[in-house]
């Protein structure tokens, strides 16, 4: 039975190295064996057969950024609960029955109060898209409209 910290974690480290090596090896094998023909159109980004318009790395609105920030908060809360869950059975012995539970209940209720506050504030609601009403309807080019025939 390994005792030291480094001895216990060595296999995890080894697995990381092995997995990365296997990843590189498989890709390298694919590159060596694969048939290659350079082609300007083939090497352009996929856009369902039309010319890609603009770069994909433009600025755009990420509608869920508030949720993403809340996620950090709640994930920290969940991580905070892990050590508590591990020692939970030992916390509630003898005269201190329910001690561990009540302590954490206070914390969780505080976090939950904040959770319901942001819920009622509408942070979790999907931001309504102005929809097609705000965009003027596009006119079909004459060459494509069927009514011309």
Q: Which residues would be at the binding site for other proteins (CB under 8 A)?
A: 2, 7-12, 14-16, 18-20, 22-24, 26-27, 29-31, 33-37, 40, 42-48, 52, 55-57, 62, 64, 67-68, 70-71, 74-75, 77-79, 81-82, 85-90, 92, 97-98, 101, 104-105, 108, 112, 115, 119, 124, 126
Which residues are CB-contacts of 87 (< 8 A; sequence separation ≥ 6)? 100
Angular region, 36: left φ>0, alpha ψ -120 to 50, beta rest: beta
DSSP 3-state assignment of 45?
Answer: coil
| Comparison of 29 and 140: residue with beta carbon closer to other proteins | 29
CB of 121 to other proteins, least distance (A): 13
CB of 50 to other proteins, least distance (A): 11
| Cα–Cα dist 1/6, whole Å | 13
Within 34-148, residue ranges assigned H as helices are 65-91, 99-121
Sign of the CA dihedral 109, 110, 115, 119?
A: positive
| Comparison of 122 and 137: residue with beta carbon closer to other proteins | 122
CB of 95 to other proteins, least distance (A): 14
CB of 128 to other proteins, least distance (A): 10
């Amino acid at each position: 039975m390994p005792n030291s910290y480094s001895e216990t974690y060595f296999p995890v480290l080894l697995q990381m190295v092995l997995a990365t090596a296997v990843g590189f090896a498989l890709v390298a094998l694919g590159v060596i064996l694969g048939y290659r023909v350079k082609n300007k159109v083939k090497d352009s980004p996929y856009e369902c057969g039309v010319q890609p318009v603009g770069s994909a790395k433009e600025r755009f609105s990420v509608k869920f950024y508030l949720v993403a920030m809340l996620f950090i908060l709640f994930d920290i809360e969940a991580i905070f609960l892990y050590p508590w869950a591990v020692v939970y059975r030992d916390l509630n012995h003898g005269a201190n029955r329910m001690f561990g539970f009540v302590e954490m209940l206070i914390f969780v209720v505080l976090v939950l109060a904040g959770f319901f506050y942001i819920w009622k504030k509408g942070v979790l609601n999907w931001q309504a898209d102005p929809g097609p009403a705000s965009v003027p309807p596009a006119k079909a080019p004459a060459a494509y409209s069927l009514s011309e025939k």
